[in-house]
């Protein structure tokens, strides 16, 4: 009986750990920019629930959102998905 209780508690803790992951609390516009080749982009700052901050860049008229710059492999089509990735 005790082993089942311990196993159940461990399972609950394991599955609830995802709810404690940092989440974006705000996304603020910083500036518009342009690469050396003339490609326009916008820079944003994401504040996370754990106190960290991350930079997002928006490309292709805000159709591509990247954590960091365009060479980043962490890009999404949606701003909120990129912000969640930045806060992980």
User: 39-71: per-residue pLDDT in tens?
Assistant: 999 999 999 999 999 999 999 999 999 998 767
State the pLDDT at residue 19. 52
Cα 57 to the chain's mean position, in Å?
12
Q: How far apart are CA 66 and CA 59, in angstroms?
A: 8
Among 2-11, 22-31, 52-61, 68-77, the least confident range: 2-11
High-pLDDT (> 90) share of the chain, %: 66
Measure the CA–CA gap between 85 and 68, rounded to whole angstroms.
11
pLDDT tops 50 at residue 29: yes
Q: Which residues pair with 32 in a beta bridge?
A: 42
Measured in residues, the chain has a length of: 88
Q: Model-level pTM?
A: 0.74
- Reading across the β-sheet that carries 64-67, which strands appear in turn? 24-34, 40-48, 53-59, 64-67, 75-76
pLDDT in the model for residue 13: 46
């Amino acid at each position: 009986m005790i082993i089942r209780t311990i196993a159940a508690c461990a399972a609950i803790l394991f599955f609830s750990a995802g709810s404690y992951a940092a989440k974006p609390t705000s996304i603020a516009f910083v500036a518009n920019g342009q690469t050396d080749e003339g490609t326009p982009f916008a820079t944003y700052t994401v504040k996370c629930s754990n106190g960290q901050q991350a930079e997002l860049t928006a490309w292709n008229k805000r159709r591509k959102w990247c954590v960091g710059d365009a060479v980043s492999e962490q890009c999404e089509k949606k701003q909120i998905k990129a912000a969640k990735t930045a806060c992980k």
